[in-house]
Amino acid sequence: MNVFGLNVALAVIWSALTGGVTLENLLVGFALGSAALFMTRPLYPGCDRYFSRGIRWVKLILTFLLELVLSSVQVVYDVLTPQHKSRPGIVSVPLEDHSEMAVLVLTNYISLTPGTLCLDVTEDCRTLYIHAMFADDPEEIRQGIKDGVERRVASAME
């Protein structure tokens, strides 16, 4: 059994022992199971990879939430002020060699961020076309995606 499956089993066992299978009990059981597995990680091969991957996913989600707030403020400010600073444009971004699932997470991350939208991905998943609301410097957008979002998604997906 993999470590994640063991953690889920511990969460279900905790819920059964506490008398009710509720979301709160499952989350507490998952947290307690994670703590127990962390303390006994030398006993389980692959446990270190499980926790490091989990930390990378948490960082990816927190970074997304931060970018969501910052870009929302930028878009709202541009919409509410009389002078529009938006210079929309379409930018092509070359991608590294990723799995289709990593490209899917990357495109959803970009599309869910206000001010950007993924238009298309080439069939070989090597080029991404993005519509950006603030495309004054396309090279800056490319570098921001390559050095930021793409790197974090690739790290979380490995």
In this predicted structure, what is the pLDDT of residue 1?
Answer: 60
Give me the amino acid identity at 139: E
Question: Which residues of the chain fall below pLDDT 50?
Answer: none
Query: CA end-to-end span of the chain, whole Å?
Result: 19
Q: Where are the alpha helices (DSSP H) in the chain?
A: 3-18, 23-39, 47-80, 100-112, 138-144, 151-157
* CA gap 39, 14 in Å, rounded: 17
What CA dihedral angle connects 58, 64, 70 and 76, to 10 degrees? -140
In this predicted structure, what is the pLDDT of residue 3?
Answer: 83
| pTM for the structure as a whole | 0.79
In this predicted structure, what is the pLDDT of residue 66?
Answer: 95
Token digits for 13?
């066992």
In this predicted structure, what is the pLDDT of residue 131?
Answer: 95
CA pseudo-torsion sign 146, 148, 149, 153: positive
